[in-house]
Structure 1
């Protein structure tokens, strides 16, 4: 079967691909962007900044990976006070998380150097690390000596709005109603069978999976989420030096 769809191998995306797993390629967000740009996929669950920084994509309306308040899987683990940090090593699998961190720090008047985290095994040793997804959850649940700055909560404190981490990006001119409806149906099926997903998924314990998927992650892309995205665009333009494009929802 030709795989026209790409998603990420993280717990938070599992409800969005229920029933379409066999036609979905699962790779980290940065690799998904490469595949979509190369025309090897027609739709991919991308980090939202890939769409904001590049033209040529449409965004599937109504579906996202978002949070309001604590998200648990996107955070800065730090041993130094925020205003004393000079270097942060960042998981570059999601440029959205890196840019969210940059914006949140800039709003505090802080501009530490952001370096790539080249080896997850170093996360517990380095003083300041940005972690995301399943590796972040694993770090959080293991013994560590870091303070945790949850970026979902930090965004909520700053703006009072949800934050959108990922969306279904569609190659403009390469998608049709059948593909769009397939993705919407997968979300509806995933949310309708959330308890089954929690039971079937093997990473982490069931209580954590239930709290994470049921309380911390949101899957709608509605009025509030779009307002949060619009605010993120404003701050990216304010604190960045590259064009930022307004999404086209379809």
Structure 2
């Protein structure tokens, strides 16, 4: 029975909590970029993977019906910038943890005719935060809720404005040999349990304030993978093919 012993990985962010309900005991919590390495190496059978990693060739089977997405502002993926979003934006520092957020930013800037220099972000020290920096996940939320001199360009809102579609940040991607109906059903059931437990997460999780948890988990973040989200994934795949330099081959998503 593979599903009961499957090696599963997720991200250590608040937005993933409802998707790992009942899976916590055997789940490894790692940054998105590390999950990609572990899944590729076969040390994980399933991972809540940045959608870009599931789209770059050769791709992975994707569990249907489950995602981390937004249909507008996401509140945890943004470009914090002090320079205007025009030709004066010459350098952006990147949190390397998420392949998808980095590539979404590249696509959105390229669509505006902008190609700044990208540099790695050393750390999240508020006192040394660069003028223009991509921030993601819980560290991004902590930054946004504190004092700072930056303007915040929410990438979920920017994508929605540009395409009219939801944006999918992460999906359950599964190694080829582990892509069984039983494992997919187990991951979908975790989502069902997590959504049923949403009032508990809002009331009792330690991250941030109750008001923020309510608006974030109960509003900004969406956990379904339906037709609109799939259209958003396909539009993003096309955008990667058009705007990403150097170009990397993509593959059409495979849902099961």
Instruction: Report the alpha carbon displacement of residue 180 of structure 1 after superposing the two structures with TM.
Output: 1.0
Alignment partner of 1:226 is 2:230:
yes
Aligned equivalent of 2:11: 8
- 2: CA distance, partners of 1:60 / 1:140: 32
Structure 1, unaligned runs of 5 or more: none
Q: Which residue of 2 aligns with 1:147?
A: 151
Superposition deviation, residue 124 in structure 1: 5.2
So what's the TM-score if we normalise by structure 1?
0.97
Equivalent residue, structure 1, for 2:67: 64
Paired residue for 1:52, among 50, 55, 60? 55
1:118 is displaced (CA, Å) by: 1.8
The 1-side partners of 2:179 and 2:106 are apart by 33
The whole-number CA distance in structure 1 between the counterparts of 2:94 and 2:206 is 27
Distance 1:123 1:212, change over 3 A: farther
Equivalent residues, number? 250
User: Secondary structure at the residue paired with 1:92?
Assistant: coil
The aligned counterpart of 1:113 is 117
Normalised to the residue count of structure 2, the TM-score between the two structures is 0.95
Q: Distance in 1 between matches of 2:26 and 2:6?
A: 5
Separation (CA, whole Å) in 2 of partners of 1:75 and 1:215: 17
User: How far apart, in 2, do the equivalents of 1:124 and 1:67 lie?
Assistant: 30
Instruction: Find the aligned partners of 1:66 and 1:56 in 2 and give their Cα distance.
Output: 19
Q: Distance in 1 between matches of 2:156 and 2:149?
A: 21
Q: How far 1:125 moved relative to its partner?
A: 3.0
Superposition map of 1:21-40 within 5 A = 21-40=24-43
The one of 240, 245, 248 aligned to 2:251: 245
Residues 59 and 253 in structure 2, CA contact (< 8 A), matched pair in contact too: no
CA distance in 1, matches of 2:144, 2:6: 33
1:203 corresponds to which of 202, 207, 215:
207
Unaligned ranges ≥5, structure 2: none
User: How many Å separate the matches in 1 of 2:204 and 2:29?
Assistant: 18
- The alpha carbon displacement at 1:242 in A equals 1.4
Q: Matches of 1:118 and 1:234 in 2, distance apart?
A: 31
Shift of 1:56: 4.8
Q: What is the DSSP-based 3-state SS (H/G/I as helix, E as strand, rest coil) of the residue aligned with 2:214?
A: helix
CA gap 1:74/1:40 in 2 versus in 1, 3 angstroms: same
Aligned to 2:138: 134
In the TM superposition, residue 54 of structure 1 has moved relative to its aligned partner by: 3.1
CA distance, structure 2, for counterparts of residue 86 and residue 161 of structure 1: 28
Query: Over aligned residues, Cα RMSD in angstroms?
Result: 1.3
Question: In the alignment, is the contact (CA less than 8 A) between 2:61 and 2:179 conserved in 1?
Answer: no
